Amino acid sequence: MKRIGIIGIGHGVFGRRSDATVQELAFEAFKLALDDAGIERKDLDASVIGSVPEYHKQRSLPGVVQEYLGLVPKPTWLTEVACASGSAAIRTAWMAIQSGFHNIVVIIGCQKMTELSTPEILGLMGRVGEVQWESIFGTTFPAYYAMFARKHMHEFGTTREQLVEVAIKNHFYGAKNPKALFQKEITMEKALESDEVALPFQIYDCCANADGAACVILASEERARDISKKPVWLDGLGCATASMSILRRPHMVGLPSAEAAASQAYEMAGVGPEDIKIAQVHDCFTIAEIMAYEDLGFCKKGEGEKFISERQSYLDGKTPVNVDGGLKAKGHPIGATGVSQTYEIAKQLRGEAGERQVPEADIGLTHNVGGIGQYCFVQILRRD
């Protein structure tokens, strides 16, 4: 297969963006990526939009984004697999270039979530679970992941404090990220005194809904080397699914889709977990990051809580994880998250992450989960 590189990246500010429509959020990231690549609109062959349409009043979102960005009449289309829509868009663009059909494709992950109330959002997210047998009983995202947490605590002795340590780390790094929704550190005491959500979760165990957009531009190897002096190569892609119902899965202490997607990505890139210098994982809840350590092979099953307690996922640890704040502190505009993760890894591999820079980072990984693990995309990026 041909190598495909990232030649441009852009990222808007995540938060409650009452100052911008979803089209304007998309433009904010798109303009930065275009400038970063040093190319013009005319150089783009197509665009792929990662977003979840139910959160927008506008139906057929790619059309209005395409028009606002001045890309008509070039082709565009939407990818949607819940919270993994951004990574699905990247994979789709990669396949379009790999096929030879296009040479340069722009990917925009964008979402405007705060126009809906929290109950409305919880209702929408709850229906990502199986409607016939589960969500009709009132299941919500926090409740689903709370079940994962309870099972992990039962099986491996994971403590409440170890869950909170994930939030403390991610808020520590979020405070250093000007793109993040929450740019403030938290303490163990503050987290443990916060309101209950779905036990064992409290407020600081849960990521926040947000508005925002991120953008990456992919190009074939020939075009990437011609355009960019610092391309980042997308060398490994994994994608897998799991049953809609968590009750039909082999266990509840991890995500089978993540394990399978990671295995595919490692094999394709010719690397293993020990080679990953920096990772972005889908920490929608604190337990999700701990399970990701294990599912991705950064530690053995049942040792994820030890991995965070020993600070192995900090900047100076074995495998730094979510040193941009992750979903937890950066915010989670669901269609934008996978593209945002790719943006951060590209920044790290280019040595442009400032005080959050991982020394000598040459191989990075993104882990983007859709729903409650029904979909998972793992992608491995590498610099020359």
169 — phi, psi (to 5°)? -60, -50
CA angle 198, 294, 208 (to 5 degrees): 35
Handedness of CA 255, 259, 264, 269 (dihedral sign): positive
Q: Which two tokens stand for residue 140?
A: 């919500």
- Contact assessment for residue 294 and residue 308, using Cβ atoms and an 8 Å cutoff: no
207 is catalytic: no
Give residue 55's Cα distance to chain centre. 18
State which H helix or E strand residue 109 sits in: strand 104-111
Among this protein's residues, is 83 annotated catalytic? yes
Residue 179 Rama label (left phi>0; alpha psi -120 to 50; beta): alpha
Please pick, among 11, 56, 83, 376, the residue that the annotation labels catalytic: 83
Kindly list the distances between the CA atom of residue 210 and the CA atoms of 17, 25, 29, 144, 340, in Å, as whole numbers in the listed order.
8, 12, 15, 20, 13
d(CA 242, CA 286): 21
Q: Choosing from 11, 102, 171, 332, which is the catalytic residue?
A: 332
Give yes or no for a contact between 55 and 347, defined as CB atoms under 8 angstroms apart: no
Sequential DSSP letters for 244-310: SSGGGSS-SSS-HHHHHHHHHHHHHHT--GGG-SEEE---SBHHHHHHHHHHTTSS-TT-HHHHHHT
The residues annotated as belonging to the active site are 83, 332
